[in-house]
Amino acid sequence: MTDTTHRTRSISALFAGVGFSATGYIALITATPLAAEELLGAARWSGLPSALAIMGTAAGSSWLAAVMSRHGRRRGLLLGYFTAATAAVFAALAVGLSSFPLLLASVFTIGAGYGANRLSRYAAADLYQPERQARAIGWVVWAGTIGSVLGPVLLEPTQRATGALSLPAVTGPFLLTSLAMCAAGLVVFVAFPSDVRGRARHTSRALPFTHLRLANARVALVALVIGELVMVLIMTMTPIHVRNEGHGLDTVGLVIAAHTSGMFALSPLSGYLSDRVGRRPMIVIAGVFLVASGLVSSSAGASQGWLALGLFLLGWGWNLGFVSGSALLTEAVPYDERVRLQGFTDTVVWSSAAIAGVSSGLLLHSIGYPALCRLGALVAIVPTALIALGRVALRRA
C-alpha cells in the first residue's frame, strides 16, 4: 500500500470517526438535561450531567494521550470510542432504572471516551508535513458539522424507535449515542492502519507541562484555552438572553445555527489560511474576531440579526484559533514527545470550558449579558498580547 493510499485511508477513517462520535455526543448533551429533569422532577440540577461530560473529556484527553504515546494513535482512538459506547448503554440503563447517580457516572465516562474525538485532529496532523498540517486538522474538525446537524435531527426518530421496541422512549438518545460511538470505533478499527505513523519511538519521561518553556507551545496553549473560554462564556448564556429579550425558540435556533456554522462550516478554510498565512498571524486574527463578537453581541440588544452576526463571529473566531493553535502545538515539540503534551493541553482546554460554563450563569446574573460579552472581548486579547510580548522580548535579546 502506497503512502498516499495510507494517508487517504487514514484521514477518511478519522473524518468518519469524528462525524459519527460527534453525532452521538451532541445527541447526548441535548437529551441529558431533559432526562435529568425527568428523573429529578425539577430542573435545578439538570445541567450537572452535561458539566460532568465536559469534565470527563478533560480527564479522558490525558488518559487517552498516555495510551497513544505508548501504543499508538489507533489503540487510543479505539479505547476511547468503545469506552463511550459501553458507557452510553449504562446511561440508558440508568434512565430506565431512574438512577441519577448511575447517569452521572455514565455521562462522565462517555465524556472521557469522547476525548478520542478531540485527539483525532492531532492524529490527522501526524499524516502530513508541517505545511499541510493545519488543513488536515481543519478537515477533521469540519466533520463535527455532521454531528451538529444529525445529532438533534435523530432524537425524535430514535425515541419513536425505542418506543416501538417496548423500551422507554427516553432511553432512545442514549442508545443512539452508543450506536454512533460504536460506528466510530468500527470505522477506525477497519480503516485506520495499525502501522500508520502515530506511535512514538520512545516514551518521553518529561512531564507534558515542561514543554511550555517553548514559546510556540505556550502561545498554542493560551490560544486554545482562551478561545474555548470566550466561546463557552458567551455562547452558553445567549439563548437565555434571547429569551429574556422576548424572542422565542425560533430566534434561539437561528442565532445558535449561525454560531455552529461559524464553528464548523469554515474549518477547511481556517486550515488553508493557517498553512498559507501562518499559525501566529491567524491566532491574532482569531482574537480580532472574538473581540468583534463580544462587542457586536454586547450592543445587539434584541436584534436577532446582530446577535446572529455576533455569534457567527464567535464561532469562526473560535475555529480559527482552534485550528491554528492545534497546528502550532503539533509543530512546537519533536514528534516523539508531542502526544502527551497534546493530551495535557486538551485537558486544560476542556477544564476551562467547564469553568466557563459554570461561571457564565453567575456572571449573567451579576453583571448582565452586555457586560458578559465585553468581558469576553477583553479576555480574547490575551493570546495577541502574549505574541506581542514575545516579539518585544526577542528584539531586546
- Nearest residue to 362 via CA among 256, 239, 237: 237
What's the pLDDT score for residue 213?
80
And the C-alpha cell for 386?
502574549
How would residue 227 be classed by pLDDT, with cut points 50, 70 and 90? very high
- In whole angstroms, what is the distance from residue 321 CA to residue 340 CA? 21
CB-CB contact of 125 with 133 (8 Å): yes
Residue type present at position 42: A
CB-CB contact of 119 with 342 (8 Å): yes
Residues 6 or more apart in contact with residue 69 via CB below 8 angstroms: 200, 203, 204, 339, 340, 343
Whether pLDDT at 66 is above 80: yes
> For the residues 189-201, what does the mean pLDDT come to?
66
What's the pLDDT score for residue 198?
45
What's the pLDDT score for residue 101?
92
And the C-alpha cell for 44?
435545578
Give 201-225 pLDDT, tens digit per residue.
Answer: 445 556 666 777 888 889 999 999 9
CB-CB contact of 219 with 382 (8 Å): no
Main-chain dihedrals φ then ψ at residue 47, nearest 5 degrees:
-85, -10
CB-CB contact of 341 with 329 (8 Å): yes
Whether pLDDT at 328 is above 90: yes
Please state which of the ranges 7-11, 37-41, 123-127, 268-272 shows the lowest mean pLDDT: 37-41
Give 228-257 pLDDT, tens digit per residue.
Answer: 999 988 887 887 778 777 877 567 767 877
**Which alpha helices (H) appear in the chain, and where do they start and end?**
3-40, 48-71, 73-96, 100-126, 130-142, 144-153, 155-164, 172-191, 215-244, 249-260, 267-277, 279-299, 304-330, 335-367, 369-379, 382-396
| Torsion region of 333: left, alpha or beta (phi above 0 gives left; psi -120 to 50 gives alpha) | beta
What's the pLDDT score for residue 202?
46
Give 119-153 pLDDT, tens digit per residue.
Answer: 999 999 988 888 899 999 999 999 988 887 787 77
And the C-alpha cell for 229?
473560554
Domains in the chain, start-ordered, CATH in brackets? 1-194 (1.20.1250.20), 207-397 (1.20.1250.20)
And the C-alpha cell for 337?
514527545
CB-CB contact of 328 with 280 (8 Å): yes
Q: From the CB of residue 305, how many other CB atoms can be counted at a distance below 10 Å?
A: 11
What's the pLDDT score for residue 102?
94
Whether pLDDT at 44 is above 80: no
What's the pLDDT score for residue 245?
78
Main-chain dihedrals φ then ψ at residue 143, nearest 5 degrees:
-60, -20
Average pLDDT, the chain: 86
What's the pLDDT score for residue 305?
83
Cα 288–Cα 290–Cα 291 angle in degrees, nearest 5:
65
Whether pLDDT at 393 is above 70: no
Q: What is the pTM of this model?
A: 0.84
Buried b (16+ CB within 10 A) or exposed e, 87-120: bbbbbbebbeeeebeebbbbbbbbbbbbbbbbbb
Whole-Å CA distances, 350 to 24, 118, 120, 356, 357: 18, 10, 15, 10, 10
Whether pLDDT at 388 is above 50: yes
Give 344-375 pLDDT, tens digit per residue.
Answer: 899 999 898 888 877 887 888 888 889 999 99
What's the pLDDT score for residue 157?
83
